[in-house]
Structure 1
Amino acid sequence: MLFELPVSQVTGLSEVYQNIGSMRNRGVEIGLNGTILQTKGWTWTAYANVTLNQNRITELSGGKPIEDTYTIKQEGYPLRQFYMVEYAGVDPDTGAPLWYKNATGDETTTNWNECAKRYLGSADPKAYGGFGTRVQWKNFDFSADFNYRLGGKVYAASNRSYLSAGSKGNITPTTYLYENAWTENNRYTDVPKYIYGNTSGENNHSSRFLYSGNFLRVKNLQLGYTLPKGLLKKALIDNMRIYVSVDNIYTFKAKDFVGYDPETYTSGLIAYQYPSTRTFLAGITLGF
């Protein structure tokens, strides 16, 4: 297990990679593909794959947990374990943010500094993979590809700015904030009351910005046409295919997710990354 450990800055460095312990990985990958239908004019194929993986830290140097702002590395826990104050919603009478005060139990407080951290899930998905299909009818072909993730959490640290209820005075409030923030007519919400210069700590690191990482993405759709070979003989072309394609068409996200794109780096952190862009392509492939 390589990890960045802080060192004295007189060395000219702030951190160095060191082997801090051991971990166990267990997983399986399964892939299937086959022909569903094949007739004189039609061919229909499909594929699917899934990866299942689980990891646990089995040993740390010194046996002591390594804790940072919102994660912890601890023996017996996953490598990417989230560890932070748990958000308890909004006081419906005042619009003030609430957090759970203790490591267990239901007691809440409006003072973030009084709160103990909790173990709040891992960034690692339980399963991820893709599936797709391809249909060919005479000279036309159509394909669709999807990818997905099931389980695991993502922490949208950038939402501490985007969803700030006034703590970040230089940030223009988002539409989501306007529509969901606490008001006297919207008392039962999980977004605190907007106050310019808010000092309640509403955007402090907590599970307010921790979401389900589940998603299903329509990754690619493509439609093509292969010209009959009889039309290509005089041009000395063996085959010619014209196609149009669209990437990253739509992503179905978990109901609690607030943001653009739940697909993150393996760390499970969303921090101002650009979302996957929708791309339109048209092209011709030639064979000689």
Structure 2
Amino acid sequence: MTAVAGIEMWERFSFYGMQAILVYFLYHSTELGGLGMDHTTATAVIGAYGAAVYLCTIAGGWISDRFLGAERTLLGGAILLVAGHLTMGLVGGVPGTVTGLALIAVGSGSLKASAVTVLGHCFSGQGGTRRADTGFLVFYLGINIGAFFGPMLTGWLQQHHGFRAGFSAAAVLMVLGLVMYLTLRRRYLATLPDTARRAVLHPGQPADRRSVLIVVPTVTATVIVVTVLAVTGVTGVEALTDGMLIAVVLVAVVTFVSIL
């Protein structure tokens, strides 16, 4: 439980810490370390980014259920988050921002989709709900701690040392979370009952080989193409944000209809 609650806390710490200064980074002038976007475009980018995170949550759940299993999806999401925050902090500019936000969206969506599933299996077969209630209480307490202190830290760093320092701090926090999880991972998995361990390590409904050969290259190519178009300026920011919002609505409608 400590491993999962800890990485979720650090993920929220870095996620909300980065997001707190992101919009200012987008519309501040280049002389002040920003990208110099107008306010309307900057807020549209924030909206598209938030939409992408929740769109990737759906994708993360599907990947977990069909390909990797919940625990490996969580670990992969954490690694992508580290890569995204490091890109935001070290690369900078439009290329670094677009690439970093894409990695963070995919990583956060994957981790968000898997963390609760993995945590739930920590208490499977232990009887009663009291222990599970305590575990989820600690889990959400960690989320709130991260969401509270993250923006305070990155905001202070941005004010005194610039945007890159704030983004780099978010990267360091996520690295701490990943190191903590990797340190506790083996012990956590060893404490799970055999049934629960198999459930978190393997997909619940494995996809057939044909689906893997179709879905993985298609999704990978789509992400690469969209990122390249955004970085090179071929696709305008407004068109990209509109496309993301439309994609979220379409996925939500299709998912809702499929459940009926």
Scaled by the length of structure 2, what TM-score is found? 0.24
- Compute the TM-score of the two structures, normalised by the length of structure 1: 0.22
Looking at secondary structure, tell me which structure has more helix per residue: 2
Structure number with higher relative contact order (C-alpha < 8 Å, ≥ 6 residues apart):
2
